[in-house]
């Protein structure tokens, strides 16, 4: 039983160290890391497409499976060749969603104003900041995605270091 916990501790420590390493790589090489993730998504889409085409060729029951497979394969190849397209798409979609949320917040602020709520100016400021953030995200999409990768990298570093610290402390408690 003691060996089980010793092995478990080693695995936990290795996992924590890998988390720190991935965080450092993501922080230092954020642009490359984002491209690698997008290329991975493109490769997955291409594989799904090829599998769908093969499945159709074996049993041509679903006529849409061939079309879906070709679309997935072509999209995957396109993303692999141009990963920035996926990055831009994700940033723009999130920007539009945040913009929509900001507009809804403005409408809610108007209701608060009409109801003479004392905090309607705070809601208005938050609504305007939300809309401004969406515009920044849409206009500066590449920088926004890269900044997000850096933030995630820093969070992984902190999480990994915390796990290393906890692992060392727990180990000392059981010695």
pLDDT given for residue 162 in this prediction: 92
Alpha helices in 59-82 (DSSP H): 63-81
pLDDT given for residue 164 in this prediction: 86
Q: Is 62 left (phi over 0), alpha (psi -120 to 50) or beta?
A: beta
| pLDDT tens for each residue of 75-122 | 999 999 999 999 899 889 989 999 999 999 999 999 999 999 999 999
Residue among 156, 112, 145, 147 at smallest CA distance from 35? 145
Give the DSSP letter of residue 32: H
C-alpha torsion angle, residues 105, 108, 113, 119 (rounded to 10) = -60
For tokens 């491209």, the residue is: 35
Block mean pLDDT (10 aa), the chain, length 175: 68 88 92 91 96 91 89 96 91 92 93 92 94 92 88 92 83 70
């Amino acid at each position: 039983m003691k060996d089980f916990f010793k092995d478990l501790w080693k695995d936990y420590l290795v996992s924590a160290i890998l988390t720190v390493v991935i965080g450092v790589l993501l922080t230092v090489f954020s642009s490359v890391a984002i491209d690698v993730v997008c290329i991975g998504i493109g490769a997955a889409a291409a594989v799904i497409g090829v599998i769908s085409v093969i499945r159709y060729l074996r049993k041509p029951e679903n006529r849409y499976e061939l079309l879906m497979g070709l679309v997935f394969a072509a999209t995957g190849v396109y993303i692999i060749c141009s990963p920035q397209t996926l990055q831009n798409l994700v940033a723009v979609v999130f920007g539009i969603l945040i913009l929509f949320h900001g507009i809804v917040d403005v409408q809610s602020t108007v209701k608060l104003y009409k109801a003479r709520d004392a905090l309607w100016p705070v809601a208005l400021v938050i609504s305007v900041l939300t809309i401004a953030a969406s515009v920044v995200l849409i206009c500066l999409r590449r920088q926004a995605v890269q900044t997000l990768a850096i933030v995630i990298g820093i969070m992984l570093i902190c999480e990994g270091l915390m796990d290393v610290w906890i692992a060392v402390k727990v180990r000392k408690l059981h010695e």
